[in-house]
């Protein structure tokens, strides 16, 4: 039984750390906007 409780506590701590990391990234990190150019081959247009 004690090993089950230790396992559950470890899972809980890992879940809290993961959630805190996602919360921090979502609320405090601003992405840098940049232009993206993708070249599409012309033969892809002819398949229709």
Tens digit of each residue's pLDDT (9 = 90 or more) over 21-34: 999 999 999 989 99
Helix (H, G, I), strand (E, B) or coil at 24: helix
* pLDDT above 90 coverage of the chain, percent: 71
Question: What pLDDT does 42 receive?
Answer: 78
Q: How many whole angstroms separate alpha carbon 16 and alpha carbon 24?
A: 12
Q: Count of residues for the chain?
A: 48
State the pLDDT at residue 48: 55
Q: Where are the domains of the chain?
A: 2-47
Identify the DSSP state of 43.
Answer: G
């Amino acid at each position: 039984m004690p090993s089950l409780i230790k396992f559950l506590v470890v899972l809980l701590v890992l879940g809290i750390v993961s959630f805190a990391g996602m919360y921090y990234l979502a609320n405090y990190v601003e992405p840098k906007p940049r232009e993206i150019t993708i070249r599409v081959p012309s033969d892809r247009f002819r398949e229709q």
